Amino acid sequence: MSQPLVEMIDVEKHFGGVRAVDHVSLDLCAGEVVGVLGHNGAGKSCLMRMLSGAMVPSGGEIRIGGEAVQMTSPNDARDRGIETIYQTLALADHLDAPANLFLGRELKTRFGNLDDTRMLREARTVLARLNPNFKNLRDPVSSLSGGQRQVIAIARAIYFDTKILIMDEPTAALGPSETAMVADLIRQLRDEGIGIFLVSHDMHDVFDLCDRVVVMNKGRLVGAHRIDEVTKDDVLSLIIKGELPADWSARNLAPAL
Amino acid sequence: MSDTSKPAQGFRLDALMPGEGQIHRLSALATLLLLVAGFSIASPAFFSVNNALTVLLQTSVIGLLGIGMTMVILTGGIDLSVGSVLALSGVVSGLAVKAGVPVAPGMALGIVTGAACGAFNGFVITKLRITPFVATLGMMLIARGLALQVTGAVPVSGLGEGFGTLGNGAPFRIVHMKPNGFPQVLFPGIPYPAILLLVMAVAGAYLLRRRQLGRHIYATGSNEEAARLSGVRVDRVKLYAYTITGALAGLAGNVLMSRLVTAQPSEGMLSELDAIAAAVIGGASLMGGVGTISGTMIGAFIIGTLRNGLNMAGVSAFIQQIMIGLVVIGAVWIDQMRNRR
């Protein structure tokens, strides 16, 4: 395997005496989907927020493409090709779809004015790719359906030159057909060589899409496995108890009957 | 998805309908026109060029404050200090001119003082993490206290004619010399404050609509966390918004003191409330993210027209306050009714 896209080494985050993330190390390669699982409050969102620059680690090192980086704002992460789709979607409700898509990275004319015409055109193109029925682009996003809002959040993450994508519960607000669309999109992005962290509670999605899973429990990383080494029950055991079943051996090897 | 069944024609019709914000502004504009019509019937002197210019002059201070207030309210904040900052800036300009500084740099000094007060507000709000209400309440007391302290609570007068030009001058004045040697004023000219208000309103609207900072001001007020995660430097956006508001309050202070040709440390009491009322009547939401300069201008003129018209109709100042209070509540109530639907 070539140089990993992301290496997180011994990363920690404390809030006062609470260890939200406790000495966690993991990596992510290009063209790979890694599922990040755990209870609510297990520290997975916290871990991902450190990678997306929204939170500064208390200790440890993050390497992007082999280079140690200090990321103190979401802009730092974005500059390195790390895009995040937040569970809350992080949309400004009163702005329209193009304004949200380009928020923080507005296209400008030569005179430094906002280039709304070009932003609308680009938005139309990228949104049509995800949902051909998306027509009401000028409406404030508060008036859009949950699916459309999700599409904007996804479009915002893939429009720019993305190398690493963090998806926090990307299908939580979606219906079955839209979930399938997101799954197709994840495969397509993986094939383009993008590394993806998929934070999810949906075991089916995880086993369907991920190459590897990492499981967090009480801030610690309790398991990191190739998807064919484990069953859903093994992963559940890791999530709930923080350990594998006592009789576990890698499931892809010849079963010890 | 719900929108798949929507026919293409429906979409076209949607595009022709005025948006929610536009409806509010149209109703505010209709209110303004009704006021003008009503007062014109009540008092023949109301509907005249001279009185229109008086209204313009009287509204310019509320208008200037309202432009800044709109920006701050858009970020989800509030600025209670603009009335006091107005007084402090005017006093600083007055003292500078009195001390021999030429008028233009003297007034610039006042505006810089206003901007500094605004920047201090922004600093306290973003770095010390104190809520805008409390931070600007503090500045309201600080600036007023400073203005009273440096003047000894005595108005600074004898500032010379130059100091009065900004507030009292009016270009495009047309005077006709009658054959008997007396001048006849055909058109009294457009007062400088009105021109200044127009320029600032256009500049403010341009900033909010066409510049990145304006877009970020809306985004910050709409969803601060989302804006931050999207890479908007929320703290810097707020700092700019409060600084601009302070500078505009400084400008308004200079306009007002220039009109009086006296620097009054006690001027502008409660004018922050007029500015907030103007923004709210014009459709701004104190929750942030909603509001326009044009709306605030209409709001400012509703207040200005109401004051002027009621004055001309001989209604007491106390009744005026009651009516303006009712208008503020009514405007917000109508807006909420519309949104709840």
For A205, the 3-state DSSP assignment is: helix
Q: Would residue B176 count as lying in a domain?
A: no
Q: Which residues of B touch A84 (CB under 8 A)?
A: 229
Give the model's pLDDT for residue B11.
43
CA A106 from chain center: how many Å?
23
- Comparing B164 with A40, the larger pLDDT belongs to B164
d(CA A67, CA A203): 33
| Chain A closest-CA separation from residue B69 CA (Å) | 19
- For residue B306, is pLDDT > 50? yes
Burial class (CB in 10 A: 0-12, 13-18, 19+), B191: buried
A137: DSSP letter: T
Q: Which residues of A touch B221 (CB under 8 A)?
A: 94
Give the model's pLDDT for residue B59.
94
- Comparing A138 with B111, the larger pLDDT belongs to B111
pLDDT digits (tens, 9 = 90+) for A147-179: 888 889 989 988 888 899 999 888 777 778 888
pLDDT digits (tens, 9 = 90+) for B249-287: 999 999 999 999 999 999 988 899 999 999 998 989 888
At B197, which CATH number? 1.10.3470
β-strand partners of A82: A164
Burial class (CB in 10 A: 0-12, 13-18, 19+), A9: middle
User: Which chain A residue has the Cα nearest residue B339?
Assistant: A143
Domain hosting B193: range is 22-170+189-340
Q: Which residues of B touch A112 (CB under 8 A)?
A: 211-212
Q: Would residue B16 count as lying in a domain?
A: no
Mean pLDDT on B190-196: 92
- Comparing A181 with B132, the larger pLDDT belongs to B132
> With an 8 Å Cβ cutoff, are B215 and A133 in contact?
no
Residues B103, B96 contacting (CB under 8 angstroms): no
Give the model's pLDDT for residue B12.
43
B 215-254 residues with CB < 8 A to A: 215-216, 218-219, 221-223, 225-233
Give the model's pLDDT for residue B312.
86
Give the model's pLDDT for residue B253.
96
pLDDT band at B4, cuts 50/70/90?
Answer: very low
d(CA B150, CA B224): 39
d(CA B176, CA A88): 68
Q: What is the 3-state secondary structure (H, E, C) of chain B?
A: CHHHHCCHHHHHHHHHCCCHHHHHHHHHHHHHHHHHHHHHHHCCCCCCHHHHHHHHHHHHHHHHHHHHHHHHHHCCCCCCCHHHHHHHHHHHHHHHHHCCCCHHHHHHHHHHHHHHHHHHHHHHHHCCCCCHHHHHHHHHHHHHHHHHHHHCCCCECCCCHHHHHHHHCCCCCEEEECCCCCEEEEECCCCHHHHHHHHHHHHHHHHHHHCHHHHHHHHHHHCHHHHHHCCCCHHHHHHHHHHHHHHHHHHHHHHHHHHHCCECCCCCCCHHHHHHHHHHHCCCCCCCCCCCHHHHHHHHHHHHHHHHHHHHCCCCHHHHHHHHHHHHHHHHHHHHHHHHC
Mean pLDDT on A111-137: 88
Give the model's pLDDT for residue B13.
46
Q: Would residue B182 count as lying in a domain?
A: no
Across A40-54, B88-102, B124-138, least confident range: A40-54
Give the model's pLDDT for residue A231.
86
Mean pLDDT on B198-210: 96
Q: Would residue B2 count as lying in a domain?
A: no
Q: Which residues of A touch B209 (CB under 8 A)?
A: 114
Q: Would residue B78 count as lying in a domain?
A: yes
Give the model's pLDDT for residue A254.
55
Q: Would residue B12 count as lying in a domain?
A: no
Mean pLDDT on A84-100: 91
The mean of the pLDDT values for chain A is 87
Which of A16-20, A23-27, B43-47, B292-296 is the most confident on average? B292-296
> With an 8 Å Cβ cutoff, are B219 and A103 in contact?
yes
For A239, the 3-state DSSP assignment is: helix
d(CA B12, CA B290): 25
Of A74, A86, A88, which is closest to B231 when you measure between CB atoms? A74
How many domains are contained in chain B?
A: 1
> With an 8 Å Cβ cutoff, are B225 and A90 in contact?
yes
Give the model's pLDDT for residue B314.
86
pLDDT digits (tens, 9 = 90+) for B207-224: 999 999 999 999 999 999
Q: Would residue B82 count as lying in a domain?
A: yes
> With an 8 Å Cβ cutoff, are B223 and A112 in contact?
no
pLDDT band at B10, cuts 50/70/90?
Answer: very low
pLDDT band at A38, cuts 50/70/90?
Answer: confident
Which of A132-136, B24-28, B39-43, B236-240 is the most confident on average? B236-240
Mean pLDDT on B106-115: 96
Give the model's pLDDT for residue B144.
96
- Write down the residue that tokens 């680009």 correspond to: A122
> With an 8 Å Cβ cutoff, are A145 and B226 in contact?
no
Give the C-alpha distances (Å, rounded to integers) separating B251 from B107, B245, B255. Answer: 8, 10, 6
- For residue B9, is pLDDT > 70? no
Give the model's pLDDT for residue B17.
52
pLDDT band at B120, cuts 50/70/90?
Answer: very high
User: Which chain B residue has the Cα nearest residue A87?
Assistant: B226
- Write down the residue that tokens 């047309």 correspond to: B174
User: Which chain B residue has the Cα nearest residue A88?
Assistant: B226
Give the model's pLDDT for residue B333.
83
This model of the complex carries an ipTM of 0.87
Q: Would residue B175 count as lying in a domain?
A: no
Give the model's pLDDT for residue B15.
45
- For residue B2, is pLDDT > 90? no
B 287-306 residues with CB < 8 A to A: 289-290
Give the model's pLDDT for residue B340.
64
Which of A43-47, B47-51, B131-135 is the most confident on average? B131-135
| Chain B closest-CA separation from residue A53 CA (Å) | 9
How many beta-carbon pairs under 8 angstroms link A with B? 94
Q: Return the amino acid letter for A172.
A: A
Give the model's pLDDT for residue A195.
93
pLDDT band at A84, cuts 50/70/90?
Answer: very high
Mean pLDDT on B52-65: 92
What percentage of chain A carries pLDDT values higher than 70? 97
Give the model's pLDDT for residue B341.
52
B210 at A interface, C-beta within 8 A: yes
Of A114, A133, A147, which is closest to B211 when you measure between CB atoms? A114
Of B218, B221, B230, which is closest to A90 when you measure between CB atoms? B230
A114: DSSP letter: B
